[in-house]
């Protein structure tokens, strides 16, 4: 008999009431367990490095180290074995979102997004995917494009037509399952394309791919 896999989560937020609410939402799911809580950024980094949770939910504004610093410490460039970090915050500010995603976060969820999206984000991160609150995704990326964000590097090898279609879908916040349905290809083929795209672009996750797509005007705003 196969034992169900439990997603181990660390919560980091300086408000005990918020941590309690997040814990209630997550532990109501049969496949998610909260293994630790941290009330400040430094504690979050220490606990995460010791416990190696599957997913870290991190608030932006915390004492000692803020959420972006925590993200960089756990998942940023140069981290040899990065953890999966999702930023959960009430502050829908562009600099926070962009800083978190560039710091290595695989998700950015607003606290008012609702429990369903929170749970989906945890499961997506655990599976190696990424999820950003829909209210954030297109607005943020459009603004980055309009503001003339610093151009990211181009691909080492040109993207194929199919890879470009996948990049556009990622930039619109589509999940792997949605991409497979839209392009009439299998889920394994989607994953294979994403792996190839990451190699060509030198990127670690789909969030970085989305930012790259908008910076390079790969897709026109809807």
One pLDDT digit (tens) per residue for the chain, 222 residues: 444 589 999 999 999 999 999 999 999 999 999 999 999 999 999 999 999 999 999 998 898 999 889 999 999 878 888 899 998 877 666 667 777 777 788 888 887 778 888 888 898 888 877 666 665 655 555 555 455 444 455 566 788 999 999 998 887 777 788 888 999 999 889 989 988 998 898 877 777 787 788 777 776 444
**pLDDT at residue number 222:** 46
Place of tokens 């953890």: 83
Query: What pTM, to 2 d.p., does this model score?
Result: 0.69
**pLDDT at residue number 33:** 94
Long-range contacts of 94-99 (CB under 8 A, 24+ apart): 94/140, 94/143, 94/144, 96/60, 96/67, 96/68, 97/132, 97/136, 97/140, 98/140, 98/144, 98/149, 98/211, 99/68
Which structure tokens are listed for 58? 């991190």
Query: What end-to-end distance do the CA atoms of the chain give, in Å?
Result: 47
**pLDDT at residue number 43:** 96
Q: Residue 151 phi/psi, 5° resolution? A: -65, 130
Tell me which DSSP letter residue 76 carries.
S
**CA-based nearest residue to 73, from 127, 189, 62:** 62
Q: State how far the alpha carbon of 54 is from the alpha carbons of 33, 126, 158, in Å.
A: 10, 6, 34
């Amino acid at each position: 008999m196969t034992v169900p896999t439990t997603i181990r989560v660390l919560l980091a937020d300086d408000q005990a009431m918020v941590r309690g609410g997040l814990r209630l939402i997550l532990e109501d799911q049969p496949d998610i367990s909260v293994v630790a809580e941290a009330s400040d950024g430094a504690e979050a980094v220490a606990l995460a490095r010791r416990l190696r949770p599957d997913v870290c939910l991190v608030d932006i504004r915390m004492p000692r180290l803020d959420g972006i610093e925590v993200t960089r410490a756990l998942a940023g460039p140069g981290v040899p074995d990065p953890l999966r970090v999702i930023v959960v915050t009430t502050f829908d500010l562009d600099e926070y979102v962009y800083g978190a995603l560039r710091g290595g976060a695989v998700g950015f969820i607003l606290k008012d997004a609702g429990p369903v999206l929170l749970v989906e984000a945890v499961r997506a991160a655990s599976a190696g995917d990424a999820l950003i609150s829909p209210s954030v995704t297109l607005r943020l990326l459009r603004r980055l494009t309009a503001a003339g964000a610093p151009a990211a590097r181009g691909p080492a090898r040109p993207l194929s037509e199919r890879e470009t279609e996948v990049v556009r879908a990622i930039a619109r916040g589509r999940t792997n399952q949605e991409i497979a349905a839209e392009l009439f290809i299998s889920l394994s083929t989607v994953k294979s394309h994403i792996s190839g795209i990451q190699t060509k672009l030198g990127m670690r996750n789909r969030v970085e791919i989305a930012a790259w797509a908008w910076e390079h005007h790969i897709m026109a705003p809807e």
